Amino acid sequence: MSHIVTVQDAVTAFADFMEPTAAELDAIEREMPLILADVDLLDAQIITLDRTPSELDERRIRRA
């Protein structure tokens, strides 16, 4: 007979010490300008999804 058990305890048992290391936080900090630039570009592209891009929209996309 096969028993069905949950793995909730096994998954949450490691949560206390699974914080990012200092090296991982430094890597995220170094990549943050690129991440923010990607967010700006996506925001500018999303704005133009339902309309024809204006000159201001095109400049915003180029700048992003």
Tell me: the pLDDT tens digits for 37-49? 999 999 888 888 8
Are 51 and 41 within 8 A, CB to CB? no
pLDDT digits (tens, 9 = 90+) for 10-39: 555 556 667 888 999 999 999 999 999 999
- Domain segments of the chain as ranges: 20-63
